[in-house]
Amino acid sequence: MGYFKNADEVYEYIGGVFRKAGEDPVVGPKLRSANISMQLNYSDPDASLTVHFSEPYEVIDGGKDDSADVKMSMPADIAHKYWRGEYNFAVGLAKGQVKAKGPINKILKLVPVTKPLFPLYKQMTDEKDASA
């Protein structure tokens, strides 16, 4: 079994860190300036998120946007490792662990912007781990 018990936990933690990213006074404006939409499809457990990196910035739990600029698929555990700072996203794309369609170069430009949020995500999941 993976790190997340169900889709609700994916939305709480991964969706949660995307929401906090949008609210962050430094990171939020940088993410909005990307002006793209991203569809994230996770497995183990099955879950999906749609993130609009624009004005308004929006994270939709369970969202499905076939018109999203970028569509990505990966196991939820990979997303968890990424947000904990334990996974190189570019290597994951190269190895085929992460599947992506669309202007991937735009997403890769956002990766460094999200790094300041790793401690926040780690804190969120540490609380989950402590209660397990």
Tell me phi and psi for residue 23, to 5 degrees. Answer: -85, -15
CA distance 84 to 120: 9
pLDDT tops 80 at residue 132: no
52-75 average pLDDT score: 93
From the CA atom positions of the chain, what is the Rg in Å? 14
Compute CA 5 distance to the chain's CA centroid, rounded to the nearest angstrom.
17
Is pTM beyond 0.85 here?
Answer: yes
* Tens-digit pLDDT profile for residues 93-119: 999 999 999 987 877 888 888 888 899
Q: Looking at the domain assignment, is residue 132 inside a domain? A: no
CA distance 58 to 49: 10
Task: At 122, list the tokens.
Answer: 């780690």
pLDDT tops 80 at residue 1: no
Q: Looking at the domain assignment, is residue 29 inside a domain? A: yes
CA distance 27 to 17: 12
Q: Looking at the domain assignment, is residue 2 inside a domain? A: no
Task: At 4, list the tokens.
Answer: 């997340």
Which domain does 82 fall in, by range? Answer: 7-125
Strands (E) across 1-132 are located at 36-43, 47-53, 58-61, 70-75, 99-101
Percent of the chain with pLDDT over 70: 99
Count of domains for the chain: 1
CA distance 129 to 70: 31
CATH number of the domain to which 27 belongs? 3.30.1050.10
Q: Looking at the domain assignment, is residue 131 inside a domain? A: no
